[in-house]
Amino acid sequence: MGFNIYDFSGMTHNMHLWFSERMSPTATTIVEWTIIGVSYMLFVALFGLFLVYAERKVCAAFQQRLGPTRVGFWGLLQTIADFIKLLMKELIMPKSADRFLYNLAPFIVMIATFLAMAVLPFAKGLQTLDFDIGIFYVTAVSSVGVIGILLAGWSSNNKYSLIGAMRSGAQILSYELSVSLSLVTIIILAGSMQLSVIVESQRDSWFLFKGHIPSLIAFVIFLIAGTAETNRGPFDLAEAESELTAGFHTEYSGIKFAFFFLAEYINMFIVSAMAVTVFLGGWMPLHFGSFESFNVVMDFIPPLVWFFMKVLGVIFLIMWFKWTFPRLRVDQILTLEWKYLLPINLINIILMSLVVLTKFHL
């Protein structure tokens, strides 16, 4: 089986066979790991630059401006120019900072991002790892990023950085509960934590529709809590410019600052990709019951295109949140989670359990 835009399993299998016939098992594994690693790095760099440009344009549209227009066609090269500027900037470290932890923090944040991306199914057969505990794995490794933020704030030996890091830690640890519980709601519906199985279960209908009201509630809570987990507005109190200069990365410059900046955008992609995979059918096309002519047309669109169309739609929603709502106070952020989202989530899990027990979703 050769290359197929509707199923990448044959392509990946043939590549593995080609390497296996010419190299030892160890060399094959190393080469395959290298190819996957380089692919992810290129994707993160290019898609991160695209998201920065997209946010500038979305922000400009909401504020009735044009956004970047001068550097390149439609301002397309503006983000690349900014990236080159960051690479050329001098790396300045505070004299009283903890040198080792200060340098380690941005790498921990980026490593957590790469670990979380490893299980995302981009299309059929286009997935690096397919664990039977995929959702549990994503929630576990995404928690590692907060360690990098706390280290960045503490090791900088700056009061603004420390306050920003503590705010971020409290916020991320709190909203992690709502993210996890909203995913548990769908695990009950799907009967599996394996992402490929969850996507296949949505072949006839996406879980957002199949799971009735509990799925819709879980989806809304996941978007709110996911936005908070990525420290994006209106939950960006950890980086509040009017209070904390730049929060936990105040003392970072150049490429190290770029790591934090890039991680935020790729984390937004991961949250959107998880929302799409779990609630919106992943790479599955949109089908309407017995409306065969419509369903056949939808099947012509390649799975990879479906996945990124949905992801970009969810990313637009998250950007919409940021440029529409004012920044919340720290007490409002924690009240929203502990007094509202968490109880609603717990009740919603019971509702989904009743839906599954009564087989109302079939």
Helices (H) and strands (E) counted in the chain, each on its own, are 16, 0
Q: Among 26-30, 223-227, 287-291, 302-306, whose mean pLDDT is lowest?
A: 287-291
Instruction: Give 175's contacts (C-beta < 8 A, 6+ positions apart).
Output: 225, 228, 229, 235, 337, 341
Q: What is the mean pLDDT of residues 294-319?
A: 90
- The whole-number pLDDT of residue 362 equals 67
Instruction: Give 345's contacts (C-beta < 8 A, 6+ positions apart).
Output: 177, 178, 181, 182, 185, 218, 221
Is the pLDDT reported for residue 241 higher than 90? no
Q: How far apart are CA 8 and CA 180, in angstroms?
A: 30
Measured in whole angstroms, how far is the alpha carbon of residue 84 from the centre of its chain? 25
Do 53 and 180 fall within a single domain? no
Quote the domain boundaries for residue 295: 94-357
18: tokens are 């080609």
Is the pLDDT reported for residue 338 higher than 80? yes
Backbone angles phi, psi at 3, to 5 degrees: -70, 135
At 125, is the pLDDT very low, low, confident or very high (cuts 50, 70, 90)? Answer: confident
Do 99 and 209 fall within a single domain? yes
- The whole-number pLDDT of residue 198 equals 92
Do 205 and 180 fall within a single domain? yes
- The whole-number pLDDT of residue 307 equals 93
Q: How far is CA 84 from CA 53, 79, 273, in A?
A: 14, 9, 28
Is the pLDDT reported for residue 2 higher than 60? no
Instruction: Give 64's contacts (C-beta < 8 A, 6+ positions apart).
Output: none
Backbone angles phi, psi at 123, to 5 degrees: -160, 175
Q: How far apart are CA 252 and CA 264, in angstroms?
A: 15
Do 280 and 171 fall within a single domain? yes
Do 73 and 164 fall within a single domain? no
Q: How far apart are CA 160 and CA 165, in angstroms?
A: 9
Q: Beta-carbon neighbour count of residue 183 at 10 Å?
A: 22
Residue 270, H or E segment: helix 254-279
Do 156 and 12 fall within a single domain? no
Contact 148, 161 (CB under 8 A): no
Determine what percent of the chain is predicted with pLDDT higher than 90.
Answer: 36
Q: What is the mean pLDDT of residues 42-70?
A: 90
Establish how many alpha carbons lie within 13 A of residue 154's alpha carbon, considering only the half-sphere containing its beta carbon: 12
Structurally, how many domains does the chain consist of?
2
Do 176 and 148 fall within a single domain? yes
Q: What is the mean pLDDT of residues 208-230?
A: 91
46: tokens are 């290019």
Do 129 and 38 fall within a single domain? no
Residue 362 falls within a domain, yes or no?
A: no
Is the pLDDT reported for residue 204 higher than 60? yes
Do 101 and 183 fall within a single domain? yes
Q: What is the mean pLDDT of residues 75-92?
A: 85
Measured in whole angstroms, how far is the alpha carbon of residue 143 from the centre of its chain? 13
Is the pLDDT reported for residue 291 higher than 80? no
Question: What value does the mean pLDDT of the chain take?
Answer: 87
Residue 156 falls within a domain, yes or no?
A: yes
Find, among 287, 283, 285, the residue nearest to 304 by Cα.
Answer: 283
Is the pLDDT reported for residue 128 higher than 60? yes
Segment 133-191, tens digit of pLDDT: 889 999 999 888 888 888 988 888 888 888 888 888 888 888 999 999 999 999 999 88
- The whole-number pLDDT of residue 162 equals 86
Do 153 and 260 fall within a single domain? yes
- The whole-number pLDDT of residue 257 equals 85
Q: What is the mean pLDDT of residues 213-235?
A: 90
Please, what is the angle between helix 254-279 and helix 134-142, to 10°?
Answer: 150
Q: What is the mean pLDDT of residues 232-240?
A: 77
Write down which residue in 38, 63, 88 finishes a domain.
88
Model-wide pTM > 0.95: no
Write down which residue in 19, 54, 88 finishes a domain.
88
- The whole-number pLDDT of residue 3 equals 64
Is the pLDDT reported for residue 254 higher than 60? yes
Q: What is the mean pLDDT of residues 209-218?
A: 90
CA quadruple 264, 269, 270, 275: dihedral sign: positive
Do 115 and 50 fall within a single domain? no
Write down which residue in 71, 88, 105 finishes a domain.
88
